[in-house]
Amino acid sequence: MSQRVVLLAHEKFPDGSKTANGIIRYGDQDVVAVLDRDRAGDRVADHLPGVSDAPVVGSFGDVEGEVDELIVGISPIGGAFDESWRPDVRAAIEAGCDVTAGLHYFLNDDEEFAALAADHGVTLTDVREPHEGLGVAEGRADEVSADVVLTVGTDCGVGKMTATMELAAAAEAAGVDACVVPTGQTGIMVEGWGNPVDRVVSDFTAGAVEEMVLERGDDHDLLIVEGQASIVHPAYSAVTCGILHGAMPDALVLCHEAGRKAIHGYEDTALPPIEEYVDLYESVAAPVHGTEVVAGALNTSGVDDDDAAREAVADFSERLGAPAADLVRFDAGDVVGALR
Amino acid sequence: MSQRVVLLAHEKFPDGSKTANGIIRYGDQDVVAVLDRDRAGDRVADHLPGVSDAPVVGSFGDVEGEVDELIVGISPIGGAFDESWRPDVRAAIEAGCDVTAGLHYFLNDDEEFAALAADHGVTLTDVREPHEGLGVAEGRADEVSADVVLTVGTDCGVGKMTATMELAAAAEAAGVDACVVPTGQTGIMVEGWGNPVDRVVSDFTAGAVEEMVLERGDDHDLLIVEGQASIVHPAYSAVTCGILHGAMPDALVLCHEAGRKAIHGYEDTALPPIEEYVDLYESVAAPVHGTEVVAGALNTSGVDDDDAAREAVADFSERLGAPAADLVRFDAGDVVGALR
């Protein structure tokens, strides 16, 4: 039986609840409810078309039915725990539920939660806590037999995780044995394994990715490594650069959101032209392992009109000099074909 | 009175003992002895000209004179503790000395050392342990009144820390109020403050640098930020990229070692041409904060002949399109003049 989960997404569902949305779309969990006090009474299907429906409720106490696990499905900039979530986490533990989060703030380090979890015999899981024994990259990821594709982005929150999942599914549908290599909390929660690369010691960033590529790279035909952030992000570019060199990808898929003009949360930092991203990713990667942007994934969820969305994709493709698609809205065929 | 220190550098002095050499050259500590079992009986001055002399001895038990502190002056790739050093650390603690290290392995987490230190009332200091409360960069380092210069490199171990210290000293000598912003264990030990940027959570890499620039940037005319590794390093580029975006430097000084052909320890990775480094550093930095390579620092310590060294500097300068010098061997004047 699937794990029955409640997703905490207060004040953020659906536009700011990347983790909740990823689990709703790609996880094999059974989503019992979403917690969002601003949208209590709505339904998930009102906001996310084409997924299993579930009620949106205001607090854990309002959830009806059996629940195995509460998952924190949002992650503010900086990964802090918002104290307004405490009553729901407490209520879940007291109801005998496990609690899982992907924050920089660890549930297991919270004295109240740790004590309460011990009392009630439930497990607190911090997926952003790296395992022991990570080390520096040895520059060996290119030794695996699989083709390695990395999703890279123009910014955070443009759809790298989504593109990674959609590409893997489309490749599988085309008969290719594909494996996702998750590097962030949502991907790890969906796939059930992975290293939280943005949380590792900076010296081990590339090493944490290399470890995963070496672990799975001889068991599949295609690895799709989930990228993070952007090579020009004012705060997180270290993570991007480490993944780029640690994964030693054979091909890159550039992910972008239609209409995005500046780095989210850093509005003074304008996005450079798409052509420049292509050049930056390829030229930074080249001395370690030559690669090229072979396709693009454009998130057109903010574009209402299908024709306008198609036009945006065509324009993006032209700038890239490679096939592109909105992998959720349109067909992924050309993009998947470009990967190998 | 200066702190009387012994520097542990077994089997690595002087070519592989970057931290020990940095303290000998730039620290205000009084170096009582260097420990290197392979060179016992030598003198420091046999190997490093122009510094205060001290004996090289085989073990802590062979040191003569009063000692306040043992400093681990070497750091292998990966930052591990070598078990062959244990008897010296133990002997130092038992003799009532503090012990300081900049390894990824923390002395304070070693049960034997922690217990022994408690028994003898000495302090174990792990300078690579980041302080609590680091966070993500806000893209604000450009708000400080000081000019910010960052040393960047073609590889690890080409002389960024040395260039940083030499540039600060030369700027001070020219009447400029300059401050070093240390990002690695040696710089932190020499300057007595700083964040070990290669040890922070990767999401906080840029933030750890920004914090330091904001802390000191309105108290000086010139900040010289110590860079780390290289933008094309297979293992450590994440650290480099985070520093580049977190520091938001007004100018870059490219550091290189004459004759270096491949990334040290990753001999399959050839160094790209100098011109390409200039382009990579400038183009990756530009979307966050425009900057340019205004000067170069060439380490010619492996070139015996002064004329050949001068020729190497001239060639490096031509490739950079900017003034260059070996800041230890020759005059720093042109390079310092280019900084502001």
- Closest Cβ opposite residue A198 in set B137, B203, B283: B203
How long, in residues, is chain B? Answer: 340
Q: Nearest CA to CA, how far is B63 from chain A (Å)?
A: 34
Q: pLDDT at position B152, please?
A: 98
ipTM confidence score: 0.92
Tell me how far apart the alpha carbons of residues B79 and B74 are, in angstroms, rounded to a whole number: 9
Q: Does A64 touch chain B (CB under 8 A)?
A: no
User: What's the token pair of residue B129?
Assistant: 């342990």
Are the CB atoms for A43 and A55 separated by under 8 Å?
Answer: yes
Q: pLDDT at position A49, please?
A: 84
Q: Pick from B118, B166, B168, B131: which is nearest to B146 by CA?
A: B168
Q: pLDDT at position A227, please?
A: 98
Q: pLDDT at position B334, please?
A: 87
- Closest Cβ opposite residue A235 in set B197, B207, B287: B207
Q: Which residue of B has its CA nearest to A141?
A: B234
Q: Nearest CA to CA, how far is B137 from chain A (Å)?
A: 5
The position carrying tokens 């382009």 is: B279
How long, in residues, is chain A? Answer: 340
Q: pLDDT at position B150, please?
A: 98
Q: Which residue of A has its CA nearest to B271?
A: A287
Tell me how far apart the alpha carbons of residues B284 and B293 are, in angstroms, rounded to a whole number: 12
Q: Kindly determine whether residue A104 and residue B201, on different chains, have CB atoms separated by under 8 Å.
A: yes
Rg (Cα) of chain A, in Å, rounded?
Answer: 20
- Closest Cβ opposite residue B284 in set A199, A266, A284: A284
Q: pLDDT at position A76, please?
A: 82
Q: Does A272 touch chain B (CB under 8 A)?
A: yes
Helices A111-120 & A86-94, crossing angle to 10 degrees?
Answer: 20
Tell me how far apart the alpha carbons of residues A99 and B94 are, in angstroms, rounded to a whole number: 46
Q: Does B3 touch chain A (CB under 8 A)?
A: no
User: What's the token pair of residue A43?
Assistant: 């339904």
Q: Kindly determine whether residue B271 and residue A284, on different chains, have CB atoms separated by under 8 Å.
A: no
Provide the chain A residues 150-209 that lie in CB contact (below 8 A) with chain B: 197-203, 205-207
Q: What is the mean pLDDT of residues B291-300?
A: 98
Q: pLDDT at position B122, please?
A: 97
The amino acid at residue B217 is G
Q: pLDDT at position A50, please?
A: 87
Cβ burial of A186 (10 Å; 0-12, 13-18, 19+) is buried
Q: Does B233 touch chain A (CB under 8 A)?
A: yes
Chains A and B form CB pairs within 8 A to the count of 164
Q: Nearest CA to CA, how far is B214 from chain A (Å)?
A: 15
Q: Does B128 touch chain A (CB under 8 A)?
A: no
User: What's the token pair of residue A285?
Assistant: 């990667």
Are the CB atoms for A289 and B237 separated by under 8 Å?
Answer: no
Per the prediction, chain B carries an average pLDDT of: 96
Chain A neighbors of B78, CB-CB under 8 A: 135-136
Q: Pick from B25, B31, B23, B84: which is nearest to B59 by CA?
A: B84
The class of domain A4-126 in CATH terms is alpha beta
Q: Nearest CA to CA, how far is A103 from chain B (Å)?
A: 12
Chain B neighbors of A206, CB-CB under 8 A: 234-238
User: What's the token pair of residue B33?
Assistant: 């002895």
Per the model's pLDDT, the better-predicted residue between A80 and B42 turns out to be B42
Ranges in chain B annotated CATH 3.40.50.720: 4-126
- Closest Cβ opposite residue B283 in set A78, A206, A280: A280
Q: Pick from A173, A160, A174: which is nearest to A252 by CA?
A: A160
Q: pLDDT at position B108, please?
A: 97
- List of E strands, A69-177: 69-72, 98-101, 124-126, 147-153
Q: pLDDT at position A1, please?
A: 67
Tell me how far apart the alpha carbons of residues B5 and B23 are, in angstroms, rounded to a whole number: 10
Residues B97-136 have pLDDT tens digits of: 999 999 989 999 999 999 999 999 999 999 999 999 999 9
Q: Which residue of B has its CA nearest to A231?
A: B284
Chain A neighbors of B231, CB-CB under 8 A: 241, 284
Biggest alpha carbon distance in chain B? 59
Q: Please work out, in degrees rounded to the nearest 5, the angle formed at the alpha carbon of residue B336 by the alpha carbons of B317 and B302.
A: 50
Q: Kindly determine whether residue A241 and residue B236, on different chains, have CB atoms separated by under 8 Å.
A: no
Buried/exposed A74-98: b ≥16 CB within 10 Å, e otherwise = bbeeebebeeebeebbeebbebebb
Are the CB atoms for B56 and B36 separated by under 8 Å?
Answer: yes
Residues B267-278 have pLDDT tens digits of: 999 999 999 999
Q: Does B135 touch chain A (CB under 8 A)?
A: yes
Provide the chain B residues 285-304 that lie in CB contact (below 8 A) with chain A: 286-288
- List of E strands, A108-190: 124-126, 147-153, 178-181
Does residue B20 surpass a pLDDT of 70? yes
Around Cβ A224, how many Cβ atoms within 10 Å? 29
The class of domain A141-338 in CATH terms is alpha beta
Per the model's pLDDT, the better-predicted residue between B331 and A68 turns out to be A68
Q: Pick from B201, B140, B189: which is nearest to B19 by CA?
A: B189
Chain A neighbors of B138, CB-CB under 8 A: 234-235, 266
Q: pLDDT at position B257, please?
A: 98
pLDDT tens string for chain A (340 positions)? Answer: 689 999 999 999 999 998 999 999 999 999 999 999 999 999 999 999 889 999 999 999 999 999 999 999 998 877 889 999 999 999 999 999 999 999 989 999 999 999 999 999 999 999 999 999 999 999 999 999 999 999 999 999 999 999 999 999 999 999 999 999 999 999 999 998 999 999 999 999 999 999 999 999 999 999 999 999 999 999 999 999 999 999 999 999 999 999 999 999 999 999 999 999 999 999 999 999 999 999 999 999 999 999 999 999 999 999 999 999 999 999 888 899 998 7
Tell me how far apart the alpha carbons of residues A246 and A140 are, in angstroms, rounded to a whole number: 8
Q: pLDDT at position A77, please?
A: 73
Ranges in chain B annotated CATH 3.40.50.300: 141-338
Residues B149-181 have pLDDT tens digits of: 999 999 999 999 999 999 999 999 999 999 999
Chain A neighbors of B197, CB-CB under 8 A: 202
